[in-house]
Amino acid sequence: MIGGSVGNMIEWYDWFVYSTFSVYFASAFFPEGNSTAQLLRTAGIFAVGFFMRPVGGWLLGRIGDRKGRKSALTTTVTLMSLSAILIAIAPTYDQVGYFGAAVLLVARLLQGLSVGGEYAASATYLTEASAPGRRGFFSSFQMVSMKLGQLVGLALQIALQHTMSEATLSSWGWRVPFVVGAVGAAGIFWLRRNLLETEAYEELDGTGADGPAPDRRGTLRGLLEYKREFLLIIAFSMGGTLCDYTYSTYMTKYLSNTAGLSKTDAALVSFAAIAVMMLIQPLAGALSDRVGRRPLLIAFAVGAVLGTVPLMTALGHVTTAGGAFALMLTGLVIITGYTSISGVVKAEMFPAHVRALGVALPYAIANALFGGTAEYVALWFKDAGMESGFYWYVTACSAVSLIVYVTMRETRDAVFFQPRKAGEVPESVAR
């Protein structure tokens, strides 16, 4: 659990720190226009990284199914380290014009490749490494590590805000978190090289003629045998990933750019609310092991459909940090029904020979279309003078996911691995 999740932490630290520090470096790469226009351009580059996630999902999902979960995990953290270094040394507009923005774009493309495979690799690894009946609890630590990475980024932002002036942060201080991310990724690479492979993959790897044909493992041809599950995960993820990015990644900007809170107060509010959310993930995961996955998913979607418009409206007019914390935490508690178990549900839908690819590719597509564009769409609505349109957009996407949750089958009792006699096909393959 530690080996599979701690690397996930640094991956998502690097991924989210771009967003949290963009309020400082947006003007360094895009000096023209007002603050919203500058943020809109950096959000566009942020969104482009998401459109590389399907490519990363296919490439690293294939590696995970053909070379092993461990191999995919080490590859993702290597790519993330390279992207962090590129951002840390990217030249500004004053130095080289828009070439600096091009370097930023390349770095985000590398991050997209990395994160596109990281989610599936860690979800598959943690789920397969968990004991039956405890998969919801143990796999929830994937989201714990993701939010911990985000909290580390926010904590560093708060520390830098209290030790540097805003002018210094906008000049060069914003580079510090990316240097930290590159160094951290190098350490995680060593840790992941020493992970044990999961039994489910080793059993699959040793099935020989009794298992799936080698040319179907981790391939699109093999995955297309599960078209229904593929499409289901896209619709399944639509509302959840959009709400997650709205209430976590975008919220710091929303509180400062719309509600008018200071950047320092907005960062503190986000840190505190996400910290509480992180702590309740294992509780929700453990609850899903008892009552099933569908009740939690349905509760999330109902809360998102009914609560998004009033919550976002109230957050846009909040005047105190305490009020902002209470409202933001309410939204994060609602989406915990999705975030705590989304990884395990996806992994439970596929057999071992296409599990990593099956989790990675459709989820990456959903993130490219909905999660990665959340900030851009929100800022576009704001720039157009109709910000409330974004709230209804989130509500509509959540309603689509609600239909999926109500009609999908329960996945809690899926069998991943069990000891077998020679010549006997594993249950995960037989399914």
CATH assignment of the domain containing 244: 1.20.1250.20
Residue with tokens 């191999």: 71
Select the more confidently predicted residue: 207 or 153.
Answer: 153
Mean local confidence (pLDDT), 60-70: 83
d(CA 382, CA 374): 12
CA angle 278, 294, 391 (to 5 degrees): 65
Q: Which residues contact 153 (CB under 8 A, 6 or more apart)?
A: 13, 16, 17, 20, 21, 177
Q: Is 381 exposed, middle or buried (0-12, 13-18, 19+ CB in 10 A)?
A: middle
pLDDT tens per residue, range 82-121: 888 888 888 887 888 878 888 888 888 888 888 777 777 8
Q: What is the value of pTM for the model shown?
A: 0.80
User: Angle of helix 374-383 relative to helix 388-407, nearest 10 degrees?
Assistant: 150
The pLDDT score that the predictor gives to residue 296 is 96
Domain extent for 143? 2-409+417-430
Q: How many domains does the chain have?
A: 1
d(CA 68, CA 71): 5
Mean local confidence (pLDDT), 206-211: 46
Q: What are phi and psi of 77, to 5 degrees?
A: -70, -30
